[in-house]
Structure 1
């Protein structure tokens, strides 16, 4: 296996064609959709294909494995100039991530904290990020608590930032600074 990162039983690898069925399974589960994409936006194979495989965006799309079992999804990307300006950044090298654990029986086991810490370290040490950001919705306390445990700080409220279940929701811009620079 070609893993981008490994931390004990946790590993992250690039998305493969065979992962489509798992993504469709996870992204049609109302428990997962409540936090990622919205319960009004279930995915089928066609939607998974167009969003995760046919798009030519700059996101690096990956699967999360635990003890060799695929359990979730993470993507990372370097912010473009427009997004950096929107968030108030200048010339810093800023990366963002989005993630979810799709196998709900792996929730509340500390895996998200290990994942976020591992990916943040990868982005800083391997890709030389100055900052890593995330933008969880303000009501998603479980995600916010996880990110804060990993050293992220709330830096800016983003009003009506994300369409979720039919309404624009406020999000927190959360940031982790490369400790070698600050």
Structure 2
């Protein structure tokens, strides 16, 4: 995959990117929002988690002004997730999405919104998905505001859904539904 939106580029993850992922995923500022500060990833874990067989998962590096700044992945959601989320129509193509900006100097500059919109464009127009879902932790209001700006809506609260920093945290199931969207960009 390769997708450009102005100075933002999303490209397929390369083996040399493991060094960046290990750097970002051992930074407490990043981990506070992504894996948890109590779960820094070393190189071995990065290789295991991000460089094994991807199956249908799309793993990408994010560059801004030709500088690597983060990571994004998308994937068809599993049957278990479909049941948990309440999606009974098995003909629908539903993808999940996860992302983080690992270079903290690029936070709060609107790049996250640009990133999400760029991935949405790819998923909706290239992969032809019907829905895109994410499950941000309920306390992460900054991320939720970004996703809502991009047209995602809260569908339901997922109590005690994700283990983060020593406790199960509530998450929101949020979705972008192509069939209900009024966004003209997609």
Kept in 2: contact 1:64–1:74 (CA 8 A): yes
Q: Which residue of 1 aligns with 2:112?
A: 112
Deviation string, structure 1 residues 79-106 (Cα, Å, up to 9, x no partner)? 1222212211122111110000000000
Distance 1:140 1:18 in 2: 30
Shifted more, 79-88 versus 156-165: the winner is 79-88
Q: Match of 2:61, SS?
A: strand
1:136–1:171 contact (8 Å) kept in structure 2 = yes
Q: How big is the shift at 1:55? A: 4.7
Name whichever of 135-144 and 54-63 sits farther off. 54-63
Aligned to 2:102: 102
- Count residues with an aligned counterpart: 180
For the residue of structure 1 that corresponds to 2:124, the secondary structure is helix
Cα offset, 1:60, TM superposition: 1.2
2:153 alignment counterpart: 153
Extract unaligned runs of 5+ from structure 2.
Answer: none
Q: What residue in structure 2 maps to residue 34 of structure 1?
A: 32
RMSD: 1.5
Runs of 4+ in 1 over 4 A off after TM superposition: 179-182
Q: Separation in 2 of the partners of 1:12 and 1:53?
A: 17
Task: Give the superposition deviation at 1:179.
Answer: 4.8
Corresponding residue number in structure 2 for 1:24: 22
CA separation in 2, counterparts of 1:156 and 1:7?
31
Residue aligned with 1:35, SS: coil
Between the aligned partners of 1:80 and 1:94, the Cα distance in structure 2 is: 9
Is the 2:151–2:181 Cα contact (8 Å) retained in structure 1? no
The normalised TM-score by structure 2 is: 0.92
The residue aligned with 1:122 is 122
SS of the counterpart of 2:44?
helix
For 2:181 and 2:46, how far apart are their aligned partners in 1? 38
